[in-house]
Structure 1
Amino acid sequence: MIITDNKKISTDYSYELYEAETMPFANKAISHFALTDSLLRYAGKYQKNILHFWPTSNLVILGMMDTKLPYFKDALEVIDRYAHPYIVRNSGGLAVVGDEGVLNFSLILPEDPKQKMTINTGYEHMLQLINNSLKAYGKKSLAYEIKDSYCPGEYDLSIDGKKFAGISQRRLKNGVAIMIYISVNGNQFKRAEMIREFYQAGLKGETVKWQFPSVDPTVMATLEDLLGISLTVDGMKNLILRTLLKNNCTIIPGEYSSEIITDYNEGFEKMIRRNQQMLGTSIDKELIK
């Protein structure tokens, strides 16, 4: 069933669940992006609603625009000093940080080819789901750009003026992936400080035609701090799943069909080629084995 009503995103729908722990292939950073594209095609072709959870260990996820920095190699050396590997993703935006305290989650939905889902509708679906999941804590997140955060955008999610999450979208063959990173716990100041230093090294004060953020670590926070509770990545994932189940949604384990795996393998090779092209000799060989 195609989801078209903003108000019912969390009610009476069936979802297939895909998680990093269930992947029948190596759990590598590039794998999650290749699988997202495969699931996008699957959702569009078979009209399936999909939940995709993929936490990572230390990782900086770069956007294509980051590679335009005039001193890009110097910027990468900053990330190396923080002992974080990095990849260039296949969707828009700028650099974000993933680690054991950050939940990456995608809501992958089919589109009606005759009535495309608007960009804002996709964002509103995710905003609604996150706010419904946090309702019990008496806090509501707002969506507006936090300009001095890393990867700022119109649908940054914040509580009390502090950003804890960012949303992006990717579309392929009648499928829409609405992707969010949620800084659940950990040292958000250090994450933002690393990205601030990344841009400082990459720009060295030069003015360029692309807009990169002047990152201020104080405008970002973890959800754990903002809610004043102890919260884990698994706990946040379970809040999302419980919200859907409480509202009569059906969640079943997704199956890795031969079609999904074939698409995944093609996407994996494309991600490797993209990263080889963008990063050259700076590529982390462990990420592309």
Structure 2
Amino acid sequence: MQPILIDQAPYTYKQAYSPFALTDLLIDNADRKQQSFLHFWQLEHTMILGMKDTRVEDLPAGVAHLVQADYPPVVRNSGGLGVIADSGILNISLVLPNPDKKWTTDQAYEQMLAFTKKALPELSIEAYEVSDSYCPGKYDFSVNGQKIAGTAQRRIKDGVAVMMYLSVNGDQIQRGKVVREFYRQSLPTTFGTNGYPPVRPESMTTVAACLDQNITVEEMKQRFLDALEITDAPLDSQKWIKNEDLSAIYIEKLNRMIQRNQVIKELIDDDTL
């Protein structure tokens, strides 16, 4: 069955909980209806933290740096460490029904890797951990030794989401510097240890740099649609939620994100979240 495409305008920081709540809703629905989804989303200047990032030595110092750098944080509900979101980053979630746990962790990642290679046939993409990138993991996607994308998974009952952030264009070096300084500020005596990466900005790059040509996020989306042979028009997420009568469940998932982010909200003076 062809995946249903979910897409909408980039989320503002005030909507930062929404893509994570929606991901859980899509996983639930993939299980309930045995339907797959492809969700494109973007978030304005934000650093997306993992739960481990909230356990640093000096979280207030790290958050203060992110706010000053114009990348205020949000804590996600999936594994991993911190990543940057902005207008040059495309987040892609491939949500699959997983009856009888047929998709192992590696198999699900390999599916995303195959689609990414198909979307970018000009590039020789390899999957391995780039340990000095931000949010390093076994299925980092790299070209010529530089990471262009990171992946994570979230599993709920018999559904799984394979999530990827793809650096399409923009100043990847600056993104790396923002993340490196977050860890330097928040880990004053243990930077680069205990599972927190010693971020080297040069370890990462963008698709545009690899192709040596300008490529927009919209063009990148189309490449993935072609790779997955999706021809249907995208659905707006809020309309889909309403049509599926899922508003109450969606609000429950948003409330869980609010609770998860209370530690961040207490550190940010204004009412941005």
TM norm. shorter chain > 0.5:
yes
Partner of 2:267: 282
Partner of 1:58: 45
Partner of 1:16: 4
Normalised by the length of structure 2, the TM-score is: 0.92
CA contact (8 A) 1:28 1:287 kept: no
- Any idea what the Cα deviations from partners look like across 1:117-151, whole Å, max 9, x if unmatched? 1000010010000000011xx21210000010000
The answer as to 2:87 corresponding to 1:103 is: no
Q: Which moved more, 1:59-68 or 1:198-207?
A: 198-207
CA contact (8 A) 1:275 1:283 kept: no
The answer as to 2:136 corresponding to 1:165 is: no
Partner of 2:258: 272
The answer as to 2:58 corresponding to 1:71 is: yes
Shift of residue 260, structure 1, vs aligned partner: 2.9
Distance in 2, matches of 1:102 and 1:270, equals 25
Partner of 2:227: 243
Q: In structure 1, the residue corresponding to 2:246 is in which secondary structure?
A: helix
Residues 22 and 78 of structure 1: is their aligned pair in 2 closer, same or farther, counting only changes over 3 Å? closer
Shift of residue 83, structure 1, vs aligned partner: 1.4
CA contact (8 A) 2:192 2:198 kept: no
Aligned AA for 1:282?
L
- Any idea what the Cα deviations from partners look like across 1:66-86, whole Å, max 9, x if unmatched? 011011111111111201221
Q: CA RMSD in A?
A: 2.1
Partner of 1:205: 189
Residues 45 and 283 of structure 1: is their aligned pair in 2 closer, same or farther, counting only changes over 3 Å? farther
Shift of residue 197, structure 1, vs aligned partner: 0.6
Q: In structure 2, the residue corresponding to 1:282 is in which secondary structure?
A: coil
Unaligned runs of 5+ in 2: none
CA contact (8 A) 1:148 1:215 kept: yes
Shift of residue 259, structure 1, vs aligned partner: 3.5
Partner of 1:183: 167
Unaligned runs of 5+ in 1: 1-12
- Any idea what the Cα deviations from partners look like across 1:223-261, whole Å, max 9, x if unmatched? 10011111111111111012222xxx5645443334332
Shift of residue 55, structure 1, vs aligned partner: 1.1
Partner of 2:180: 196
Aligned AA for 1:141?
I
CA contact (8 A) 2:10 2:41 kept: no
In the alignment of these two chains, the number of paired residues is 267
The residue correspondences of 1:66-145 to structure 2 (distance < 5 A) are 66-112=53-99, 114-135=100-121, 138-145=122-129
Residues 209 and 164 of structure 1: is their aligned pair in 2 closer, same or farther, counting only changes over 3 Å? closer
Shift of residue 109, structure 1, vs aligned partner: 0.3
Partner of 1:261: 247
Distance in 1, matches of 2:49 and 2:245, equals 29
